[in-house]
Amino acid sequence: MRQDPEIRENVELEALNTLRVRARAAFYAEIKSAPELIRALEWARERQHETLVLGGGSNLVFAGDFLGLVIRMAIRGRRWEHIVDHRATLVLGAGESWHEAVLYAGRAGYRGIENLALIPGTAGAAPVQNIGAYGVELCDCLESVTALDRTTGELVTLNSSECRFAYRDSLFKHMPGRFVITEIRLALSRTRPLVLGYRDLQEYMGVTPDSTLEPLEVAEAVMAIRRRKLPDPAIIPNAGSFFKNPVVERARFDALKDRYPDIVGYPQEQGVKLAAAWLIDQCGWKGFRNARVGVHNRQALVLINHSGGNGEDILVLAEEIRKSVEQRFGVTLEMEPGIVAGSTSP
């Protein structure tokens, strides 16, 4: 049976993005299955409307109204597959809450994603950004994704290597609009070593032996640490970390270290990853507020919308921060959220 989604007109998107920026969609559809997704895209193509695929709205900034079709992915479902010995595959629909999926896996005793607790957004959006926290990235356990390839109109399965993951990067960011993820598969294990190398985690866990910890305990520790440092978007509108941690060559880091002995850096294969929060804090931005937007007083990476600011307010502040860091340290910050510019009429 043909599954036609309901297409609504002139829909307010303020409640559908965690920055609570006001913007409207000319057309809007909530998608609960792959066939509905195909029909929605057909509907837009027939009318020559642009499309925007929306998950939890936690990693984007609306810079204006969207005059095409906003497709909100609400495909639900989670199940276990290939349960063999201590290993299992967790399958998640694109519309599943990422954080709830982390807790679901932890309660079942499976390890691999517990460090990614409390990251807002949906399962389908997680591979696009290759979400990461506390020494773990999604690519560490992602087995494959199912996605609609809009060039062929067919559902395809892409394994982890085909997704071309890198730090906060993936194939999906380099081919925007081509693939719409409908389902993801995570390879988890009951015996996988826990990743507890970050200082915050070590300090929180104290002297508790790793061998006695359960993944849910690690997830709860991550939740406590994040809540201590990061504002809840439901209370203070924000999009999480607004800038990526920049990676510089070792020689460049050594030169910065000579000038700024307290600079924070983490060795990587390709150089040294700097702590963007430290750079921004040193430029005096932590706790800054103007009339509408600002920077959180406990985490300089988080831009907040405290008094009804719009997308332009957020972007102007972000550019001021970026310029100040570049002028002082010679390091260019890259924004994490995607920017949704006001689209054009067909």
241 is catalytic: yes
Please name which of 227, 200, 204, 203 lies closest in space to residue 296, comparing C-alpha atoms.
Answer: 227
pTM of the model as a whole: 0.88
Residue range 222-239: average pLDDT? Answer: 93
Give the pLDDT band (50/70/90) at residue 4: confident
DSSP state string for 2-13: --PPPPEEEEE-
Q: Which residues, at least 6 apart from 293, have a Cβ–Cβ distance to it below 8 Å? A: 303, 304, 305, 306, 307, 309, 313, 314, 317
- The predicted-structure confidence for 18-44, as pLDDT tens digits, reads as follows 999 999 999 999 999 999 999 999 999
307 is catalytic: no
* Catalytic hit among 20, 39, 72, 168: 168
- Cβ atoms of 50 and 9 within 8 Å: the answer is no
Res. 271: pLDDT tops 60: yes
* Catalytic hit among 36, 114, 183, 336: 336
* Catalytic hit among 160, 170, 241, 343: 241
Residues 195 and 189: their CA atoms lie apart, in Å, by: 13
- The predicted-structure confidence for 76-113, as pLDDT tens digits, reads as follows 999 999 999 999 999 999 999 999 999 999 999 999 99
**What is the per-residue pLDDT for 197?**
87
100 is catalytic: no
Beta bridge partners of 169: 166
- The predicted-structure confidence for 152-172, as pLDDT tens digits, reads as follows 999 999 999 999 999 889 999
